[in-house]
Every structure is written in C-alpha cells, then in structure tokens.
Amino acid sequence: MKHNYWKNGWLSVLMVMALSMSAFAQAGLTPIQLSKIESVGSVYMSEDGMTAAYTVTKPADPFKENALPTSHLYLYDVKTGDTKPFITGMSVSGIAFRPKHNSITFLAKKDGDATRSIYEIQLNGGEAQKLYAFKTNISGYSWGSDGDHLVFRATEPMQKEESPLPYQPEVYEENLSGTVAYMQNVAVKGHMPHRIPVDGVVYSAHWSPDMEKVALGVAPSPFVDDYYMSQKLVVISHEKREVIAEIDHEGKLGEYHWSPDSKHIAMIAAATLNDPIDGRLKIADASTGKTTMLQEEFKGKFDQIEWKDNKTLYYLASKGVWSEFGTIKTDGKMSPVVKTGGPILNAFAGGNGNFVFDAETPEHPDELYVMKKGDKAPKRVTNSNPWLDEVPKGKQEVVVYTTKDGMMIEGILTYPVGYEKGERYPVITVVHGGPEAHYDNGWLTAYSMAGQVGAGQGFAVFYPNYRGSTGRGLEFAMSSQADMAGAEFDDVVEGVDYLIAEGIADKDKIGVTGGSYGGYATAWMSTYYSDRFAAGVMFVGISNNISKWGTSDIPEELFQVHSRERIWDNYEDFLKRSPIYYVDRAETPLLIMHGKNDTRVDPGQSYELYRHIKTRTDTPVRLVLYPGEGHGNRHATAQFDYNLRMLRWFNEYLKGDKEQPGTELEMDEMSIEK
C-alpha cells in the first residue's frame, strides 16, 4: 500500500505541477535543478601521493523514485590531472587504500550478498572482488600496515527467539544489538576472526602503525545518548587482546589518529563533559592515557587532523564562517598553510606532500580540489555540475552585527538575483540546528535551505550564526547554555533588525525556517516573536521542552551541553521556554513538517504545536508528515516535496495574497524541465 501511495499519489501531484503555473517567477536556480545537483563527498590519497580517490553523491530522480542518493567512486591522477570513473555501478562506502597491495577496498552489498562486505579492486582496473564477508553487516574497518590484518566492526549476532503468538510487539530500548570489533588476517585462508573482548558498543577501531595495538572508541550501550556523551577511547594489545590504557577523556569524541611511532594518539574531542562539540585537539600518551590539550584558547573548531611526523600534525579548522588548513606542532604552535577567505575546505587527504580537498564556494557545491607540493593554494579540478555555471545566482556575503548586550554575531546573506540597492526585499531567515553548528561562507542551498533557489525567486536569504554556534572557540559555543530560547534566539531577531536598518529587508516580509534546534527557533519566532515574522516553516522542531525530554533519544546530551539543569528541578522554566506556552501570541502562518520515524525530536512535538495553534487561534497552520523519514528527509522525492512546499509557503505569505495554499503542489512553468 505504501509503495502504491508513492507511485500513484506522486503521479497525480506531478501532473498538477506540470499543468499549473505559478505567479512567482524563477530567475535563478529552480527546485528541479536543485534536485539534480551532484557533489563530491569523501576524499582519499594513496601513500605515494600520486592517486586520489573521491566519491560523488548522485541524487535519485524525484519524479521516478523516492530513493536514497548513491555514492560512486572516482580516481584522479595527480601527475596527469586525469579523472576517471572507477566504481559507478553500485553505491560504495568505507573506502581505503589497501597498504602494499596497489588496490582500493570498500564496503558494499551487491545483489545476492547476504551482508555488507569488504570488496577489493586493483588500481589498474578490473572487476571488484569480494575480499571478506562476515555473518552480519560490516559497518567499518581499518587496515594494519601490512595490508593483511584488519580490525573490523560488525553488528553483534543476535539469536532471535520464535514467538508462539502470531504477533510480536516491540519492547522499547531492550534487546538492542550493538557493534563489536574483530581482528582478522585476510591473507590466511579459513582464518577465524578474533573478537576483541571489551564491554560496550564499539563505534571506531584503528590499528597502530607498529600493529602492536588497536585503539577503540567504546560506549557503554547502543543508546544514541551514550554515543554522544559516554564514549571512551581505549588501547588494546594486539597479542593479548586486553586493555592496556584508557585515555583520559570525557564528553564528545570525534576522530583520532595514531602517531607514526605508535606512541601517541591525536584526537578531536570535547574539552570537558559540558563542551557541546568535539572540536578541541588533544594529544594522548598511548601507554598511560594522559592527555594534553593543544591551543586551549583557539577561537575556532578543529574539524580534521592527520599526522605529518611524530611532532607535527596537519589540521583543518573552522574559523568563524571560513576554513583554515595548516600544521600544528605537538607543543601547540600553529602554522596556517591555506588561510581563511577562500573556498570552504570540508575534508582533506594527503600523501608525499600532495593534498586533495573536498571544498565548496558560494557559487558551487562540493568539488575536488588539489594542492600539489609547492602550491600555495588548492585548485579546483572537477566540475560535477557544469550547467550550474550558467545559472544566475545571487551575490553572497558575510555580515557582522553587534547585539544589544555587546555580542558580535556573524551571519551570511544571499542577495536576490537582480538585487538593486535601495530596494527592500522579503527575507527568509534560515536558523541552523544544534545549536552546536554553524554556517560557512560556502554553498548554502539544499532541499531545506532556500539559498540560491530562494534568491532566484526574489528573496534575500539570511543565515545567522547566533551565540552557541561553533567555529568561534569554546567560550562562544558554550555561551548559550542554560538559556535556551533566550539570548541565542534574540541574536536572530537582532540580525533581522540589522538587515532592516541596512535598507535590505522589508520589515513586514520576514520569514523564518530551520530544522531540529532551528525548528525550535522557528516555533519560537512564530509564537513568542510572532509580531516580527510574517511566515514560518518549522522542520523536525521542538515545541514543548517538557515532553521533548521524555520522548527524545538524547536527554542526557540535552542536560549536559544545553539546559545544564534537570527538567524535574524546574518544570515551570522549561515550560516557559517552550513555544506552546506562547501560542496565544501566534499570528505567524506556520507550515510544520516532520519525519514520522524521527527518534531525535519525536513527531509529537509537531502534533502539539499544530493542535495548540489550531485550537487556540485562527492563524493558518498546516502539518505535513513524511512516512519513512527520520530527523531530516533523506529520500529524493521527500526532499523535493519539502523544498516545493517550503518555497510555496514563503511565496504566498511574504509575496502573495496570504491565503493558505491547497494541499496539492504547484510549480511555476519555468521550473518544469522534463
């Protein structure tokens, strides 16, 4: 029935789209063009620095199937500059250069496979061959330096008991299976894997270069809360398979890497238990577990690290709305190589002095950039969407304003296509989630972010990095704690005031949207600050902090890095920081959208706000649910549907007749490209 609904229901909707014309002209990027955009994802480099591998994410056609995007593998020859597709017939992940074998390995589940397995393909081509399979799905692996030993993670096999009844209920948060780690030598035929005996769920595992040790990130349970807040990093002896050190750390844990001499581990992690993000850099002694934090006062966020030698690391960091790449000594001395102000670097890989990056600009989404030995800056070498260069785009710039309490806030503004100075425009304010996140001055267009599609329809699009955002150091990231919906959301309103004062924004045509914590902000602006916003689109957002605590899968994270107060110690204040408390103020037409399978922010949050507005006011409100989607839409047609509904809502209430649109979708003639 669900399959037929999507097939037949979407056929009807698309016929309505094709036959209808909208009053809102499109001068730039269209929703259909957005749905076609491909982008570079992960990047990898061979040890000799001459071959780069990278993935390209290709979306499904929303008119044909509500499917997930696929990830294909490409190779880039650093010497010749040649690029070639390598694996495009299936979606791949977990890519690695296999040491001493001139090959690449990856995870895939081909037709006929019982589980997700490790495949191998030679760099000179040929067919990919299954290298190793396990009785459950392999979720990740790490090669030893000999290229034969690997440590892999897989779901713990669970024995399913047969029920004597014809119906089986779900028992909540019990009988859950987690991932465990195994050592294996794939060079020995018939070799049985050795399970690593550690208590808890293994989320990561990496060999030391000397292959005498393995480092593992372990949480006490499969609960998401424990993954965020309770992971420990432990060091295991290869020979004895027992814990020889536990790294001194608490709070969020990011990536970590062994030093070349196997004596230290560099890790990106939280500074303390109350740090909202894994953005600090620590060096751990692998034998004692003692850690040292580098650059404690760094006004940025470490995003990625790799060892250069035993005393030096390469780092990639966010600094405000920019990125920076450089080296840092183990004594903390930093030396930027690629400074802020250029393309936004999202990831890097290096070998023998050559580097590749996944990078983006305000005009173009992620592509492959290369910086050879001796180069001063990365250069773009791919163009996954050549047609995009011909699409008119709105200018994008960084804006900075100071709040009434003296806080300096950065934001990004995308101007409407054809912007004329002195004319005021409707504004769509996009509030990021987290709040431990931030917007870079890169490509800011996606199915849930109006970006260049909004600019093409005559909107200015504003992205404020309110207090609590990352990229500006620990103090700024923690500055919103214990004050949910307080000064952090005031920062957003003051950003709108700044755009009005600058003569850009029409004060009567301000919209707001966001997902998760940004959905919370949208609900707050549509109730508490309803007199300031003419339209809102709330996505997987929070409306009642009391019921949110009891229905979310991360209540401990909420306490440790956001509220800093137990909800049962102050129910009244938590309620007063909830949008439902101010629904009597709600005059902002609000479109609410939510994935029906969301476990992070339960769909009940959207039901509650919808019911309160519907019952207590005459304000236009609509609730749209997406079956099969969780905390954000992942499938092509669901994303396309969201984008259309969001833009139509803003067009109607910021530029149109302010009448609630019908439930059927419409699209302007210029967007039909079939």
Query: What is the CATH classification number for the domain harbouring 571?
Result: 3.40.50.1820
Q: Write out the two tokens for 512.
A: 């707001």
Residue 64 backbone zone (phi > 0: left; psi -120 to 50: alpha; other: beta): alpha
**Is position 68 within any domain?**
no
Q: pLDDT band at 668, cuts 50/70/90?
A: low
User: Tens digits of per-residue pLDDT, 227-283?
Assistant: 999 999 999 999 999 999 999 999 999 999 999 999 999 999 999 999 999 999 999
Q: Write out the two tokens for 548.
A: 């949110």
Q: Any idea which residue has 């844990």 for tokens?
A: 253
Residue 226: which H helix or E strand, with range? helix 224-229
> Which residues does residue 55 pair with via DSSP β-bridges, in sequence order?
73
Instruction: Decide if pLDDT at 21 tops 50.
Output: no
What single-letter amino acid sits at 54?
A: Y
Q: pLDDT band at 664, cuts 50/70/90?
A: confident
- Distance from C-alpha of 352 to C-alpha of 271, rounded to nearest angstrom: 32
The overall longest dimension of the chain from CA atoms, in Å, is: 75
Chain centroid to CA 627: how far?
21
pLDDT of residue 26: 72
Is 171:184 a contact under the CB 8 Å cutoff?
A: no
pLDDT of residue 667: 58
Q: How many domains does the chain have?
A: 2
Higher pLDDT, 443 or 158: 443
Instruction: Decide if pLDDT at 565 tops 90.
Output: yes
Q: Write out the two tokens for 371.
A: 């910086």
Q: pLDDT band at 11, cuts 50/70/90?
A: very low
Q: pLDDT band at 2, cuts 50/70/90?
A: very low
pLDDT of residue 22: 45
Q: Which segments of 320-430 does DSSP mark as H helices, in order?
A: none
Q: Which of 231, 246, 261 is the last residue of a domain?
A: 246
pLDDT of residue 44: 98
pLDDT of residue 6: 37
pTM above 0.75, yes or no: yes
CA distances to 401, 421, 505, 557 from 510, in Å: 18, 18, 8, 32
Q: Any idea which residue has 């004895």 for tokens?
A: 240
Long-range CB contacts (< 8 A, 24+ apart) of 292-300? 294/328, 294/330, 294/332, 295/328, 295/332, 295/334, 296/271, 296/474, 297/473, 298/334, 298/473, 299/472, 299/473, 299/476, 300/324, 300/471, 300/472, 300/473
Residue 662, Cβ density class (10 Å: 0-12 exposed, 13-18 middle, ≥19 buried)? exposed
**Is position 422 within any domain?**
yes
- Residues 442-450 have a mean pLDDT of 98
**Is position 136 within any domain?**
yes
What mean pLDDT, rounded, does the chain reach? 94
Instruction: Decide if pLDDT at 300 tops 60.
Output: yes
Instruction: Decide if pLDDT at 446 tops 50.
Output: yes
Q: Write out the two tokens for 601.
A: 């922010």
Q: Which of 193, 212, 246 is the last residue of a domain?
A: 246
* CATH code for the domain of 114: 2.120.10.30
pLDDT of residue 25: 60
pLDDT of residue 264: 98
Q: pLDDT band at 4, cuts 50/70/90?
A: very low
**Is position 637 within any domain?**
yes
Q: Which segments of 577-635 does DSSP mark as H helices, in order?
A: 604-616
Q: pLDDT band at 518, cuts 50/70/90?
A: very high
Q: Write out the two tokens for 224.
A: 């998401």
- Residues 413-438 have a mean pLDDT of 97
**Is position 356 within any domain?**
no
Neighbour count for residue 165 (Cβ, 10 Å)? 7
The residue range of the domain holding 181 is 97-157+173-246
- Residues 448-454 have a mean pLDDT of 98
Q: Which of 246, 262, 293 is the last residue of a domain?
A: 246
- Distance from C-alpha of 198 to C-alpha of 15, rounded to nearest angstrom: 56
User: Tens digits of per-residue pLDDT, 138-173?
Assistant: 999 999 999 999 999 999 887 777 889 999 898 999
Is 171:160 a contact under the CB 8 Å cutoff?
A: no
Check residue 561 and report its DSSP letter: I
Instruction: Decide if pLDDT at 179 tops 70.
Output: yes
**Is position 491 within any domain?**
yes
Instruction: Decide if pLDDT at 16 tops 80.
Output: no
**Is position 203 within any domain?**
yes
**Is position 283 within any domain?**
no
pLDDT of residue 531: 98
Q: pLDDT band at 24, cuts 50/70/90?
A: low
- Residues 109-137 have a mean pLDDT of 94
Instruction: Decide if pLDDT at 108 tops 50.
Output: yes
